[in-house]
Amino acid sequence: MPFIETKDRTSIHFTDWGGADRRPIVFTHAWGVHKGMWDYLLPEFLDAGYRCIAYDRRGHGRSDIAELRCDLDTLADDLAELLESLDLRDVLLVGHSLGGAEAVRYLTRHGSGRVAGLVLSAPSAPMLAQAPGNPNGIPPEVVGAMRQFVRTDIGAMLDSWQVEDFFGTARPISAALADSVRRQMVDTPVPVMLATFETNMGVDLTAELPGIELPTLIIQGDADINNPLELTGRRCAELIPHASLTVLPGAGHGLYLGEADAYADAIGSFAALLPGRHRSAAVFAG
């Protein structure tokens, strides 16, 4: 299994499918889960001619964690070390939820020299928590209740999820597949879940988003109750200079599975128009 070792001696696990002559897509996953969230999308992108790299955030999946450092700068630095270790160029960077915030911080911290385009999928950006500059954010009492669930019994919170609310209704999701997403969260170490929860809820990228000069696709469902569209994706589209927003009607936070066909089509069409030295990949027929 391929790993890289970061400067603080954390082993980051990744998978790398496709050839070096293809445009690389690097996938960063959501809070609490691991790179397995992308598994059912990868064949679509591989068939369309892309190289697909997905990795486990430190402390998640098969990645270890040398010390409990899960601030956004550290997570962005891990992404930078992965791109540098593999010497990736002309990357399409796809980040979902917290992974979207990581992608933004990577670009503002490390620059866009290796990246051709950005996809923010239901992003945890500009910010989630209620604050003077974000009056419609998640109230402190709700954040506190969620924190308590993560600390004591995240299963109780997951039991309250409705499959249709999270994934949407366009594509039926089996109980086994929905359970596998829950299992990823239950299996992530509690200290890591708490640390990344604080990172996710503490994000404020409002001042960073206008500095992103890359072509950017924001894709989100209008029924997302985790990261509501008007709070996150819509505001990102207003703040990023070269952003386009694709809204999938009726889709929830798990649109990468619940709206997999439309989701892959939108990203594939966006990717096919990006400049770069890699041979062109196909636009999805959809």
* Helix pair 98-110, 72-85: axis angle to 10 deg: 70
Amino acid at 193: M
Query: Is-contact 235 187, C-beta < 8 A?
Result: no
Q: Partners of 91 in the beta sheet?
A: 115
Q: Cα–Cα distance between 187 and 275 in angstroms, integer? A: 40
Query: Is-contact 178 167, C-beta < 8 A?
Result: yes
Coil, strand or helix: which one is 53?
strand
Q: Euclidean distance between the first and final Cα of the chain, in Å? A: 32
* Exposure class string for 170-193: b at 16+ Cβ within 10 A, else e: beebeeeebeebbebbeebeeebb
Coil, strand or helix: which one is 282?
coil
Amino acid at 158: L
The region, left, alpha or beta by phi > 0 then psi within -120 to 50, assigned to residue 250 is left
Element (H, E) at 118: strand 115-121
Catalytic residue, from 97, 121, 265, 278: name it: 97
* Alpha-helix runs per DSSP H in 203-286: 233-239, 255-258, 260-272
**Structure tokens given for 64:** 């270890």
Catalytic residue, from 60, 96, 253, 278: name it: 253
Q: Cα–Cα distance between 230 and 4 in angstroms, integer? A: 37
- Is 97 tagged catalytic? yes
- Is 253 tagged catalytic? yes
**DSSP assigned state of 134:** B
Enumerate the active-site residues: 97, 224, 253
